[in-house]
Structure 1
């Protein structure tokens, strides 16, 4: 069954909605602080609760301390905002609200619409079995946070924020200058934990989920439990440069993000990664897992209704993450004696060709990423907490997982394998992956670059393999079903393919390789150097004299290369072999040479 068909089951009746960050108009104001109308925030909340009017706004002056706070909101629409002193009505200042042992700083219940602005919420510490150190939300409505820091809180679940949409849909959104920092969960969701019918949206710049920890479980930065959905598109937090949105968090599993299928009926969990800044896609960076899934960990639920865990990458970067296994992504499985295996889903494809991720409309400020950092999984390392190398892969897909990787840059990672597929023994336990328009370069692996065990089905089209290090001398080793076409192996004498399955399950066609002995069973195999533009500068486009130009038959439809340019461009100066399609990740584009750019379009036009 295809990813699209399976995902029709996964999405079902999904959540829709938008978060508004605009200030409430005509709000009744309650001023809190030394010399203000109310001496405490709790007193102002009590007064606001008794007011049956519309919008309410509590302005908390930064002219006194607010310690051991245990604030409660139930069924209210209200804004709490920090200001420098009494009677300030313009948004300014930053007021710290400190919690204490035995309770959350802020508890929200009922159908509430709460906005927090210009605050620091810190020091909340309910019990290690409780939820929401800084904020504990359980109900419907919305919580929007901007110009606010949630830091140094502690709980069993959701160290910074626990957001449980119970009884209906609830929306959580972070605006600019929001930081979720240095929170701790004893079990799971160090920074933020969302569950139920929750939708988390982060698209504004200057947002940071950083330095959080899930000591004994999952999701150092963020944990998503189905049927919740998280839409992550912020470029993150810029200091000298963008550090990334999900940065330097840690957990046992899923140092950056953990995604879980819920335990109820078809409670699928989805995380979508995209760009709102064309030069800076959302970045999951420098996170660590003691066990598996340094950047992202996925686990479905194999109960009677099979709840899936899905990662949708439209524009993204996963970099500098570490784990013993699955340093960038670990796609786990779940099994029961009754229902067998349920696998995870990974769909890393552009938004123009990603129905798995766009059945629910993307936020309106999504843009196509245009930089070299787009769609990159790079510099991830398989290692233990002592920094010692482990036999782990950059991406590991367990039994019955499905992965679709299109326009992928998999580069400069270190581990045992860059991609490994683990198959199951049953007919309905096959792990399936497709890799297309992909550049795999500069990876330092202690074994095969790609390993597909028995019980797997791997398809590779328009991929370029070059500059990878592997003492095994094998690029792809497969024991299940393997299809490779329109690809380039520029790995010197390394064996392009080592296949141990049934010959009927191997299909090799239209391949350019420096080594061809391992491709003897294939068709349209060409031996030679692909002639890249500038290997020293990392430019793997094809020179005008490349043997990979105009080799294979065209493919119907709007098919794009790694740069997003159209395939099947007929270069008039190159005789076609069987069609217009180039081999490898990049299609050489036609150029119009007018009088103004004659020099550029001459022999210097190598890109």
Structure 2
């Protein structure tokens, strides 16, 4: 099924009268694949996707069942439109596998597994009592040996070599909502929460994922496995709500985590990872303040080049440097420009990519690192040093800015100077002010990635005109050599104001303010705090109301190798 407008929606496989001779009743609300059959689904679908709003007992969207031969059943998901990935959306299972169910069947001598190969897809807003996004089932031979299902996300081989991208498959476009298991919920048939997981792997199963974001799922765990093998590479787990641990691996399972990030999850348990078995973690970030990173029983442990909020449980291979993620509370666990996770590790042979399908091993200036250290750790590789100020255009909200004077700052959609047309700006206003009073609106703490020359600028709008004085919009800045994580530690080394405008029209200074930071001054907590200030300067009143607008606030590092403005353009 790869025609662009193909959708399977609103079907039911309720299995009202299951019998021992017909055990496959109630499987696959949208699609059921019984080995030796296979299905390849690449349609962008209509509306909400390709497999939408179906329901079943097992596999609300898709079920793959082993057959009575020694042949596997298989489903391959892939995208044919880079802006509209194949999507498994809004399906429901009363038992297991809200999005996808994978089963295995063992005969007397035959083994028939269920296989999933998925590339550049979305599995979102599905519901099940267990395995709301994905459920991997198992079966047992006469000596109680378990044989489980296998799933591989964005793996060209998978384990043990059963996946390859179909002809016509494409990577998702940059910025598209793709490669996600998002917003799946563990609920029973009446909508009550259950102790289920978004991803559940039963005994003998294999789950491997690369370039996957698992976020905003609700359940007891984001991932749970029994006597299984889990391998994660360039994956991010963020914004999930877990009534237990984020991961729970039992019965001598094996967990491998490489180049991945875990942050911003709401975890009720006191541990993030609970593992019975082996764990290997390399070049990853585990940042969940207030929790223990790992509890482990049995098995070996190998931890290297890891940044974690709690390190004692991980051992010598972990450090507690703040990773300075962009917005983990809202699921953005990419790195800020001054994150110590940037250029933390040596280059890796091979043309690999991060969770956004962007190149790895990008050496960034002015970050001071040892020679050969060019690779960021975690799921995402920062591609360029800017922007340093985050959300400086206020295109959607005022997030990532902190109020200084409560109640003075609002987003004004009627005023806009930068960013997308009509995207709005910040309005700072306070009534009953006196002449000469300064009103502080919002502030942002910006850590500096290295020594060099920085320029501060922005758009401002006041209330005056050419003949009448008006309120002044300006930026107040404080530079500290050692400002700490909040940019407030100690007195400022230097500070000052940047006048933007007192006119009732948008103005931006032709010459930005320059901040010089020498190599002798710079530390890992060197910072600039940028505050929006309105100065009451109106000739009207009393009563007076100080009002000003701000947009397009930037702090930029000037590359000393950029000589384009030299006289004569000499080298």
1:527 aligns with 2:326: no
Higher helix fraction (1 or 2)? 1
Q: Relative to structure 1, is the Cα distance of residues 396 and 535 closer, same or farther in structure 2, using a 3 angstrom cutoff?
A: closer
- Partner of 1:487 in structure 2? 284
Q: Relative to structure 1, is the Cα distance of residues 353 and 336 closer, same or farther in structure 2, using a 3 angstrom cutoff?
A: closer
Match for residue 246 of structure 1 among 48, 51, 56 = 51
- Partner of 2:419 in structure 1? none
Q: Relative to structure 1, is the Cα distance of residues 580 and 292 closer, same or farther in structure 2, using a 3 angstrom cutoff?
A: same
Matching of residues 124-139 of structure 1 within 5 Å: none
> C-alpha separation between the residues in 2 aligned to 1:398 and 1:550?
38
> C-alpha separation between the residues in 2 aligned to 1:183 and 1:413?
24
Q: Secondary structure at the match of 2:57?
A: strand
**Residue deviations 1:278-322, cap 9 Å, x none?**
122111111111111111000122232322211111111111111
> C-alpha separation between the residues in 2 aligned to 1:218 and 1:353?
25
- Partner of 1:564 in structure 2? 357
Question: Greater relative contact order: 1 or 2 (C-alpha under 8 angstroms, separation 6 or more)?
Answer: 2
> C-alpha separation between the residues in 2 aligned to 1:324 and 1:573?
50
Instruction: Give 1:249 shift.
Output: 0.8
**Residue deviations 1:509-547, cap 9 Å, x none?**
11112222222x232x22122112344664322122111
Q: Relative to structure 1, is the Cα distance of residues 380 and 179 closer, same or farther in structure 2, using a 3 angstrom cutoff?
A: closer
Matching of residues 335-374 of structure 1 within 5 Å: 335-337=140-142, 340-349=145-154, 356=161, 358-359=163-164, 362-364=166-168, 366-374=170-178
> C-alpha separation between the residues in 2 aligned to 1:449 and 1:290?
23
- Partner of 1:509 in structure 2? 304
Instruction: Give 1:480 shift.
Output: 0.3
1:542 aligns with 2:351: no
Match for residue 237 of structure 1 among 43, 46, 56 = 46
**Residue deviations 1:80-119, cap 9 Å, x none?**
xxxxxxxxxxxxxxxxxxxxxxxxxxxxxxxxxxxxxxxx
- Partner of 1:447 in structure 2? 244
> C-alpha separation between the residues in 1 aligned to 2:91 and 2:556?
42
**Residue deviations 1:368-398, cap 9 Å, x none?**
4434421100111111111111111100001
- Partner of 1:227 in structure 2? 36
| TM-score between both structures, scaled by the size of structure 2 | 0.63
Match for residue 498 of structure 1 among 295, 317, 341 = 295
Q: Secondary structure at the match of 2:284?
A: strand
- Partner of 2:258 in structure 1? 461
Match for residue 205 of structure 2 among 397, 401, 405 = 401
> C-alpha separation between the residues in 1 aligned to 2:24 and 2:34?
18
Q: Relative to structure 1, is the Cα distance of residues 540 and 177 closer, same or farther in structure 2, using a 3 angstrom cutoff?
A: closer
1:293 aligns with 2:97: yes
Q: Relative to structure 1, is the Cα distance of residues 183 and 509 closer, same or farther in structure 2, using a 3 angstrom cutoff?
A: closer
> C-alpha separation between the residues in 1 aligned to 2:147 and 2:87?
28
CA contact (8 A) 2:76 2:116 kept: yes
- Partner of 1:270 in structure 2? 74
Q: Relative to structure 1, is the Cα distance of residues 227 and 534 closer, same or farther in structure 2, using a 3 angstrom cutoff?
A: same
> C-alpha separation between the residues in 2 aligned to 1:271 and 1:277?
19
> C-alpha separation between the residues in 1 aligned to 2:269 and 2:133?
22
Matching of residues 104-503 of structure 1 within 5 Å: 175=3, 180=8, 183-185=11-13, 187=15, 216-238=25-47, 243-265=48-70, 267-303=71-107, 304-337=109-142, 340-349=145-154, 356=161, 358-359=163-164, 362-364=166-168, 366-423=170-227, 431-502=228-299
Q: Relative to structure 1, is the Cα distance of residues 178 and 313 closer, same or farther in structure 2, using a 3 angstrom cutoff?
A: closer
> C-alpha separation between the residues in 2 aligned to 1:509 and 1:258?
38
**Residue deviations 1:336-379, cap 9 Å, x none?**
205832111110016699995654x6143645443442110011
CA contact (8 A) 1:219 1:251 kept: yes
- Partner of 2:432 in structure 1? none
| TM-score between both structures, scaled by the size of structure 1 | 0.59
CA contact (8 A) 2:8 2:51 kept: no
- Partner of 2:347 in structure 1? 554
> C-alpha separation between the residues in 2 aligned to 1:307 and 1:334?
10
Q: Secondary structure at the match of 1:544?
A: coil
Q: Secondary structure at the match of 2:313?
A: helix
> C-alpha separation between the residues in 2 aligned to 1:460 and 1:398?
19
CA contact (8 A) 1:465 1:490 kept: yes
CA contact (8 A) 1:350 1:407 kept: no
**Residue deviations 1:433-466, cap 9 Å, x none?**
1111111111000010011113211001111111
CA contact (8 A) 1:185 1:215 kept: no
> C-alpha separation between the residues in 2 aligned to 1:367 and 1:460?
23
Match for residue 380 of structure 2 among 586, 593, 599 = 586
Give unmatched runs, 5+ long, in structure 2.
17-22, 388-454, 458-551, 558-571
**Residue deviations 1:247-303, cap 9 Å, x none?**
1111111111001122112x2111111111112211111111111111100012223
> C-alpha separation between the residues in 1 aligned to 2:244 and 2:340?
29
Q: Relative to structure 1, is the Cα distance of residues 536 and 408 closer, same or farther in structure 2, using a 3 angstrom cutoff?
A: same
